[in-house]
Amino acid sequence: MRSMSTRQAILPLICVSILGILSACSPASNRQAVESVISPTPSVVLLPTQTATVLPSPTALSCLSDVGVVKQDVVLTTNPPQKFIIYLPSCYENFTDARFPVLYLLHGQTYNEDQWVRLGAPTIADQLIQAGESQPFIMVFPDDPYWNSEAGVGFGERFINDLIPYVDQNYRTLADREHRSLGGLSRGGGWTVQLGFTHPQLFGALGLHSPAIFKENAPYVERIIQDIPQETRPQLWLDIGESDMEFSRALLLEDILTRNDYLHHFYRFTGEHTELYWSAHTEEYLRWYTQVWQKNSTFQ
């Protein structure tokens, strides 16, 4: 593990160890307007998607004025058991034949599965749905507490092989890549790089929020990106605070994406590697994820 007061342990990539993951614990500065940089646009070919159940117009559903349900669940078949929090949107119980997009959000090191909840993700989702600015969607917040133990490196395997199938089997998700997105903060952003780039068939969009990636792993990351066919590359968001200790490494990742013609959005904000920074941008994150699904909306 690289020595730095808030740095994460390096995680092994599937077949290749490529990522180091960091924590967050320094003061933040105020946000300001974003600067957006978008790389050249490759051609996009959509993979087959599931047929979504068509719901009535958002304005016709009185249940949309309600708030969603946030509850704890666990996959008991893994070792250790894989805990997670799940957000079920308003109207989920009212329309038992409907299926919903699903967003997986990973927390940072030293935190647990409630981090995104504390940052306001369920409340913001309620507001977007109630305002008719987003279709109802499910959010899953997995727990990754074993970053400094042997069980920590097994999180990726538990997530891909156990958690996603469990959620698809026990909740009414739209279980295809176009309606499944993955994002993370810090260490969670590093996991998103690892899991998203090595399993592009599973995710239609990836959000890298202050991701933690070591400079020496750049060649491995670039090699994996080059192995992803252009037509199956997930849509990508990358943001970082200009005072973040990971800023230079985020610029390196952005350069790799641009050099390899990977379509992406890159945002440089004012701020540091802290929850204050992430909470200031959580609404922007959720708006982007929901916009990715709009073309496959379950509303008509």
Residue 129 domain-assigned?
yes
Confidence of residue 55 (pLDDT cuts 50, 70, 90): low
Confidence of residue 149 (pLDDT cuts 50, 70, 90): low
Residue 129 corresponds to which tokens in the numbers above? Answer: 């749905």
Mean pLDDT across the stretch 249-258?
A: 94
The residue type found at 77 is T
pLDDT over 60 at 211, yes or no: yes
Pick 213 or 55 by higher pLDDT: 213
Pick 149 or 293 by higher pLDDT: 293
Return the H-helix or E-strand segment holding 18: strand 17-20
Confidence of residue 294 (pLDDT cuts 50, 70, 90): confident
- pLDDT value of residue 264: 96
Domain count, the chain: 1
Q: How far is CA 41 from CA 45, 84, 196, 230, 233, in A?
A: 12, 36, 19, 10, 11
CA dihedral 197, 201, 203, 205 (to 10 degrees): 70
Residue 120 corresponds to which tokens in the numbers above? Answer: 């306001």
**Residues of the chain with pLDDT > 70: what percent?**
75
Residue 81 domain-assigned?
yes
Q: Which residue in the block uniquely carries the two structure tokens 């090595």?
A: 198
- pLDDT value of residue 218: 78
Tell me how far apart the alpha carbons of residues 32 and 24 are, in angstroms, rounded to a whole number. Answer: 20
**pLDDT tens string 12-53:** 333 333 444 333 333 333 333 333 333 333 322 233 445 454
Q: What residue numbers bound the domain in which 202 lies?
A: 10-39+57-295
Residue 137 corresponds to which tokens in the numbers above? Answer: 């969607």
Residue 232 domain-assigned?
yes
**pLDDT tens string 182-197:** 999 999 999 999 999 9
Residue 145 domain-assigned?
yes
Confidence of residue 110 (pLDDT cuts 50, 70, 90): confident
pLDDT over 90 at 4, yes or no: no
Residue 233 domain-assigned?
yes
What is the domain-level CATH number for residue 70? 3.40.50.1820
**pLDDT tens string 243-253:** 999 999 999 99
- pLDDT value of residue 48: 40
∠ CA 126-31-273, rounded to 5°: 90
Question: 69 pairs with which residues across the strands?
Answer: 88
Classify residue 215 by its DSSP letter. Answer: G
Q: Would you say the pTM of this structure is higher than 0.85?
A: no
* Nearby residues of 6 by Cβ (< 8 Å), 6 or more positions away: 22, 23, 24, 25, 26, 109, 245, 273
